[in-house]
Structure 1
Amino acid sequence: MKCKILPPKGLYHPVLPYKQLTSDNTHKLLFGLCRTCMNKISFKCKHIDDPTLNKHDKIHEIKRCKECKNIKNEKCIHSDEERVIVGTWSTIEIDKAIEKGYELQKIYELEHFEKTSTDIFKLYVDTFMKYKQEASGCKCDPKYCKNDCKNDKECKTKIQYIIDNTAYDLDIDKVKYNSGLRFIAKICLNNLWGHFGMRDNFTQKNIVLLLEHITKIVFNEKYKDISTMILDENIVLTEYKEKEEYSKPNPSVNVYIALFTTAHARLKLYELLDILQERVLYMDTDSCIYNDDGSEACKK
């Protein structure tokens, strides 16, 4: 759904990401409550102009610039129109945002599917998650489980705990650390999503032996960003990209599957952030570090 939405004030953990165009024409994904405040993140420091500083020292001083810090951390005084964000998000994230106080102002476009499914990859994921869980062992020591844990009393207890608390039908005799099998299972799980979200137009490289082939590439109107490198007197390496209007879509790409995969992952993480609130010290796509103050929130 592409829409205009107004974030609430005072929400400690924002729900919706905002894609900000930086000064060097790249994109940065930010989570904030004000568009204008987030756009300040991209400006370059103009307060450090000491010509005697070398490049390394200048970068260090820019990071410590108090003026920039004050600008980026000043209290937001912007109007609703200055705070509102426009973007494209999954409907499940929009639902969560509205639940947390976001105000949906305008819908520009909505992709609707008559049929939906929640288990099209269930068998595939369950199979490789089972392999990964078994190959992870019982983690009985810092080096993981490299010994025969099924005959160790303490390890058997841990293995049984893993089996009882996982959604997969693990084989107790196969719960043993195996780095190779675990790596393969993890790659198979990750690649399933990766190909659905893979971009199309990669740089193409060709080894060319004939001059006429080089000419066809260099003067081809379908290509851009063309470069050549002479490897020896008979071989030339060419690199180029297809122009957008000539680029063929990758048949394995499905942006809807990719975006809903990441959306569900973000919402799963948000469940934890919403409970912990200001106790959160750091978060990543699959982990969270927080201050355990013994409160009920931490016990959850």
Structure 2
Amino acid sequence: ENHKIAYLDFNSLYPSTIATTSFPVGHPKVHVVPLAEQKVYWTRSEQIPFKGILKVFILPPIKLEVPVIPVKFDERLLFPLCRKCSLAYPNGANIKDYRCPHNDDERGWVSTCTSIELEEALNVGYRVTRFYRALHYEKWDDNLFKNYVAEFMAIKIHASGFPEGIEGKENEENFMKECREKFGIELQREKMVPDKAMRYISKLMLNSLWGRFSLRNGLSKSVVIDCPIELGEYDNNNSIEIQSIDTLTKEAILLTYKQKEEFIVEHDTSNMVISLWTTSAARIRLLKAMQKVADSSGCNLLYGDTDSILFSHPKDMECPLQTGPHLGDLAREYIGSEIKEYVGGACKAYALKMESNKNAKISCVLKVRGITLTADVCKILHFDSFKESVLQYANGGCDNEEDDDFDKGTITVENPNFIRRNLKDGMVYSTKMRKVFRPIIQKGIISNDLKIVNFGQK
């Protein structure tokens, strides 16, 4: 009751990142450290000898609310403080008075990371004890994607109209001037007309560019064949692996295949460094916002995603994060309502209860990845049932252990009109789809007060 809940997200996080980040260009110098010289002890960012990508053995601090260095264990992207604890609890756990029992060698791991992320890590207590190799870049470009982003951002802003809160001719002129001075975005007042289609296209162009540099090259491909000779060519091709052959008609088949690993050819635009540098720089933007909240008295981090952050702060205190209308600024979600309650059940699964500022009307928002929230589904899976489910899971299960559907908060829903495609016959069907929602926290330990503690906290 004494706190407010704020839900903020970045205005075009990835476009703003590639527009303002200095990128490595050209060929790197490869430095392989001899075995006798691998032992180091870095505790400050100034000790990093190269600018680029480094492979190191890293030791996280024993206590840190917002960890910096990511690692992937068991297909989980984690930000842990201990390798052993992360592997010991693949599905998380509910442990009273949890404390990590492991030593430094057990807690640390080998990480291949960017120098900019490693700098942030060393500044908050991480240590590097071994240095294996590095890709050092001597050439850097501050404007690699700036013109591209400015062009399509102008189209997006034109198609969106002036942001909420920018009212009056003077404020609108100031907004256009700031866009030009900060990002080189040239805006014209007469083009500021809402256009959903153009906005969608420009947004797609802005968000898709960096990903084109890391397209997966080994995905399966399908081809329709109606000629025996063509089928024989595929069958005799030693560079591919045929995965399936399905009959479509009397004259045609659908052949699915993929390239064998040793024959995979990189895409013409492949440049993994561009993509990993983009995601690394974007993570730092989110990290700094989360650190600011964590360092503010009375504030609590509640949830974070790729480009958003949800937290609480005292009512008598201003929000620790500033919002703005520009590219890369933070903006409020659900303007016009006050979030009264938040319930988090898993990654990309949460519920919000909100009150309208106009008429005090209560509304709820439920987000559950993988489940389409139709009217039939929402009769069973709604804010109250979601909240009860999460509390049951957090407390170690439910009172009635014989009821499998509700063991540890499980909720089973059925969509009677799920649309399913069949590629073999080209038809679309309406079928029944049964799905199970179960809260699960795989990225930390649930403590006594229902907060999530990082793996490795001491």
With normalisation by structure 1, the TM-score equals: 0.79
Cα distance in 2 for partners of 1:225, 1:92 equals 43
Q: How many residues align?
A: 260
Q: Please say if 1:159 is aligned against 2:172.
A: yes
Q: What is the match of residue 108 of structure 2? A: 84
| Displacement of 1:115 | 1.1
SS, match of residue 140 in structure 2:
coil
Pairing 1:24-39 to 2, within 5 Å after superposition: 27-39=75-87
Asked whether the equivalents of residues 3 and 108 of structure 1 are also in contact (C-alpha less than 8 Å), the reply is yes
Q: What is the match of residue 155 of structure 2? A: 131
SS, match of residue 215 in structure 2:
coil
Pairing 1:263-282 to 2, within 5 Å after superposition: 263-277=280-294, 279-282=300-303
SS, match of residue 111 in structure 1:
strand
Match of 2:144 among 116, 120, 123: 120
Spell out, residue by residue over 1:192-249, the C-alpha distance to the aligned partner (whole angstroms, 9 max, x if none).
Answer: 1110121111211111122233233234332225211011111111001111101111
| Displacement of 1:161 | 5.6
Q: What is the match of residue 199 of structure 1? A: 216
Cα distance in 2 for partners of 1:228, 1:158 equals 62
> What is the one-letter code of the residue matched to 2:320?
C
Asked whether the equivalents of residues 37 and 72 of structure 1 are also in contact (C-alpha less than 8 Å), the reply is no
| Displacement of 1:2 | 1.7
CA 1:101–1:225: 2 relative to 1, 3 Å: farther
> What is the one-letter code of the residue matched to 1:282?
Y
CA 1:211–1:13: 2 relative to 1, 3 Å: same
Q: CA RMSD in A?
A: 2.4
> What is the one-letter code of the residue matched to 1:206?
V
CA 1:31–1:248: 2 relative to 1, 3 Å: same
Asked whether the equivalents of residues 17 and 32 of structure 1 are also in contact (C-alpha less than 8 Å), the reply is yes
Match of 1:283 among 304, 326, 345: 304
| Displacement of 1:10 | 1.1
| Displacement of 1:98 | 0.8
Pairing 1:164-243 to 2, within 5 Å after superposition: 165-166=178-179, 167=182, 168-224=185-241, 226-243=243-260
> What is the one-letter code of the residue matched to 1:274?
Q
Asked whether the equivalents of residues 138 and 155 of structure 1 are also in contact (C-alpha less than 8 Å), the reply is no
Pairing 1:16-55 to 2, within 5 Å after superposition: 16-20=69-73, 22=74, 27-42=75-90
> What is the one-letter code of the residue matched to 2:304?
M
Q: Please say if 1:259 is aligned against 2:276.
A: yes
Cα distance in 2 for partners of 1:99, 1:127 equals 36
Cα distance in 2 for partners of 1:221, 1:73 equals 58
Structure with the largest fraction of strand: 2
> What is the one-letter code of the residue matched to 1:263?
S
Structure with the largest fraction of helix: 1
SS, match of residue 110 in structure 1:
strand
Q: What is the match of residue 7 of structure 1? A: 60
Cα distance in 2 for partners of 1:162, 1:195 equals 31
| Displacement of 1:76 | 1.3
| Displacement of 1:259 | 0.7
